[in-house]
Amino acid sequence: MVADLSDIVRVLVPAFASFVVGIALTPVLTHYLYKYKAWKKSPGKIALDGSPAHAFNDLHSVHEMRAPRMGGIVVWGSVLITILGIALVARFIPDAAILKLDFLSRNQTWIPLAALMVGAIVGLIDDLYLIRPKGEGLPLSYRLIIVVILSSFIGMWFWTKLEVTAVNIPFWMPLEIGWLIVPLFVLVSLALYASGVIDGIDGLSGGVFGSIFASYSIIAFAQNQIDLAAFSAAIVGGLLAFLWFNIPPARFYMSDTGTMALTLTIATIAFMTDDLGGGVGIAVLPIIGALLVVTVASNIAQVASKKLFDIKVLRIAPLHHHFEAIGWPGYKVVMRYWVLSVVFAFLGVIIALAAI
């Protein structure tokens, strides 16, 4: 029982530390974001089919210039400071209690930390391009190529270095797919990156992503991957700090530096809590991340219906903006998404724990 309590502390301390760091970091970050006017200089958005998104622009064009972008720095910045800070303290003060808190480990956190930081840097570059006068950000094709390259490298690492060749099915035998684990990781990463558009209403993305990472922290903990659980919990702490300042009216938006970092990290953690951890992290991802799935599916349905039948199934895609368009206030959409994200997170965790 003492060992279990010790492991719980190892997970909760990074979460609390990341939250505190995020709260402390935000005033400094927002000072410079507002000082250098780090928001879109030209309002408006282009729809997925390349035409002007008139319905969206009627609702949100003013808000896009109300607050700066790059709020995702709070999330990954607080996680980076926390994980490196604890590691450095443990190095110079090798006390047993501090060493036990160090969750920077080669076998559990190097890969997800690398995914988080590479996604953060690429997303930050995109944001910096976007906030220039008449800036449009990195072309979507460039960003997708980067996601494919990065996810291919991580997928190859899972296959060749970690010898992951199977996907676990809940309450069934593992599905051996061999080298196909690499393209599977690429497809999951692309799908998750596409879901990053959930960062569309004040407070929405922070709550949804927080539920997802909290779920995988519990799953990793149950698999005795304590460092990975602590890493996921640290991200939850960073997200809560971000959410503190992102509730309406938002002080900043997460934007690509946050969504690209987080979605790539979710893919990595899902695979690490699957066959590698003796769990079903991949199979429960569509459940835990159900609202991300709905977001992507609603975009696909909108584009397909317009291309094939010249009609729109939604007033605005993705779905959360459709609810705004039919008259729901933004806070009602956000609150109901938060509730659903917690419900689906619980369901996914239950299935994952029952399948161990």
* Owner of token pair 């995109």: 126
Is pLDDT of 288 > 90? yes
Rounded mean pLDDT, 102-108: 93
The CA distance from 235 to 232, in Å, is 5
- Closest by CA to 225, choosing from 164, 176, 274, is 274
Is pLDDT of 2 > 50? no
Q: What is the pLDDT of residue 200?
A: 84
Instruction: Copy the structure tokens of residue 281.
Output: 């992290």
Is pLDDT of 267 > 70? yes
Q: Which of 31-45, 310-324, 329-343 has the highest mean predicted lDDT (pLDDT)?
A: 329-343
Q: What is the pLDDT of residue 97?
A: 80
Instruction: Please check whether residue 246 is in contact with residue 71, taking contact to mean a CB–CB distance below 8 angstroms.
Output: yes
Is pLDDT of 1 > 70? no
- Closest by CA to 272, choosing from 281, 264, 263, is 281
Instruction: Please check whether residue 269 is in contact with residue 228, taking contact to mean a CB–CB distance below 8 angstroms.
Output: yes
The CA distance from 257 to 193, in Å, is 12
Does the annotation flag 127 for ligand binding? no
The CA distance from 209 to 262, in Å, is 8
Is pLDDT of 51 > 70? no
253: helix, strand or coil: coil
Q: What is the pLDDT of residue 246?
A: 92
Instruction: Please check whether residue 124 is in contact with residue 38, taking contact to mean a CB–CB distance below 8 angstroms.
Output: no
Instruction: Copy the structure tokens of residue 124.
Output: 């930050």
DSSP state letter for 3: H
Q: pLDDT category, 125, cuts 50, 70, 90?
A: very high
The CA distance from 233 to 217, in Å, is 6
Mean pLDDT of the chain: 91
295: helix, strand or coil: helix
Is pLDDT of 85 > 70? yes
